[in-house]
Structure formats: C-alpha cells, structure tokens
Amino acid sequence: MSHALFTFVVSIFGFAFAIRISDHFIERNLFDRSAMTKIGTAYLACVIALSSFLPHSRTSLWLALFTPLLIFAFSLSSSVSRRSLNFKRDVLSALSVVILKMKSGRSFRQSLLETTSECSPHLRAKLTEIINVVAFSQQNKLVSRDVFVRELVDEFMLIDQQPHASMRRLNVLRDKLRIEEDFRRRSGQVLSRLRAQSLVMCGLYLAVFMFMIWKFGWQRNVQALTISMLLFSIGVMWMWIGGRRLKWKV
C-alpha cells in the first residue's frame, strides 16, 4: 500500500472514530453540538500541528491522529464524571433545604418546587425535569442512563405517594448520600496523591522521551519508542481510570 493511500485510509478511520465519540456524548445530552464543534476544531488543529512536527512515517501518522483523540476522550470523560459528582453534592444540599421546609409545615411537592426555584440554573433544569416525571408519572418517563438520576426519581415517587413516611424517607436518602459523599472525599484524597505522583512521572518520562529523540533520533528507534510510549500510556490510564474501581482503605 502506497504512503498516500495509507494516509487517506487511516485519516478516514481516525476522523470516523472521532465523530462516533462526539455522537455518543451528544446522544447522552452530556455536551451540545456547539461545544462538540469547538472540541472537534481543537482536535483538528492538534492533528495538523503534530503532523507537521513529527517525521513523515506511518507510525507518526497513527500518533498524530489518535494521541489527541485519546486525550480529548479522556478529558471529556473526566468532565462528565466531575459533573455527576457535583450534581450529587448539589442534590444533597437541596435535600437538606427540602427537609427544613417540610418541618415548617409545607408538603413534599411544595418544598421541592420552592427549593428548585432557589437553585442554580443548571441544577434547576435537572430537578425540574425530575419533578415533571414525579408529578406526571403516568404521562412522562425519564430517559436517562444515569443510575443515580433513576434512583432519585424512583425514591421521589415513593415519597410523593407515601406522605405519611415522606420525612423519614427523605432523612434516610440524605444520610445515604452523606455517607457516600464522605467516602468519595476520603478515597479521593488517596487517589489525588497517587495521581500527583503520576503527573511527576509523566513529566520525567516526557523529558527522557524528548532527550532520546534528540540524542539518538526518531527513525532509528521508532519501534522501541513507540512500545515504550504505549506501555507508559496504558499505565497512566489505569492509574487515572482503573484506580477508581479499587477498594481503598480510607
């Protein structure tokens, strides 16, 4: 296969993969099309810059196309995770306000509506959607892949249908969220220390990597450098993504 044909095929494959990732985030309502267009433009600029900087070879083409793609995909996933955690913290604060309003004699729905109107615009939009599903459960169904949102809707429905036990169920829900938040905070402290160490290692690795290219050249050591970068990237990704699934002693 000629170099021009190989470049064309790999480029089509890379950009098709990027479009598929973009559609995935848009379909789940995580980012709008305007934001994804800006991200796509930044990705294209990175590909052009890397293609100009790296030597002209097939390995360099793979690196130029997929290294920025992996970085952007990882950054977007991290942003989604942060949004989810912030939403849980905001819901916990909102539940405390709802409980206070109910103690003053208001009903669950009235307390929830008043609390929602006092929230930030982003949280208000999400809670309004949840309230509409709770209030009109026969007509509306929430389409969400977020497990926490579905559990919240189910719990709110039970609270709305059982007014005699609403205060008790709300307190149980709030205590559960508080325990989960405390555990996330403690485990996050452990992970943050490990990730800080991984960032230091990334800096050292990049310095050694650039020195090897400058001292011994890219073409003569392309296989060793590529394998090294691949193994190091796998280790870093496991540290940042796989580490969340470990059971830390906190």
For residue 172 the two structure tokens come to 């149980």
User: What is the arithmetic mean of pLDDT over 33-59?
Assistant: 73
Contacts of 83 (CB under 8 A, 6+ apart): 30
Query: For residue 248, what pLDDT is reported?
Result: 47
pLDDT in tens, 145-193: 677 888 888 888 888 888 888 889 889 989 998 888 888 777 777 777 7
Coil, helix or strand at residue 184: helix
Cα(20)–Cα(2) distance, integer angstroms: 27
> Does the pLDDT value for residue 246 go beyond 70?
no
Phi, psi dihedrals of residue 170, rounded to the nearest 5°: -65, -40
Contact 97, 118 (CB under 8 A): yes
Query: For residue 147, what pLDDT is reported?
Result: 79
The pTM of the full predicted model, rounded to 2 decimals, is: 0.59
User: What is the arithmetic mean of pLDDT over 47-67?
Assistant: 72
Query: For residue 222, what pLDDT is reported?
Result: 79
pLDDT bracket for residue 201 (50, 70, 90): confident
- Cα-based torsion angle of the residue sequence 71, 72, 73, 75 in order, rounded to the nearest 10 degrees: 90
Q: What is the DSSP string of 16-39?
A: HHHHHHHHHHHHTTSS-HHHHHHH
Contact 53, 45 (CB under 8 A): no
User: What is the arithmetic mean of pLDDT over 227-250?
Assistant: 68
Q: Please work out, in degrees rounded to the nearest 5, the angle formed at the alpha carbon of residue 90 by the alpha carbons of 89 and 94.
A: 120
pLDDT bracket for residue 69 (50, 70, 90): confident
Coil, helix or strand at residue 86: helix
- pLDDT-above-70 percentage for the chain: 77
Phi, psi dihedrals of residue 142, rounded to the nearest 5°: -75, 125
Burial of residue 95, with CB atoms counted within 10 A of its CB: 0-12 exposed, 13-18 middle, 19 or more buried = buried
Contacts of 112 (CB under 8 A, 6+ apart): 98, 127, 131, 156
Contact 206, 190 (CB under 8 A): no
pLDDT bracket for residue 250 (50, 70, 90): very low
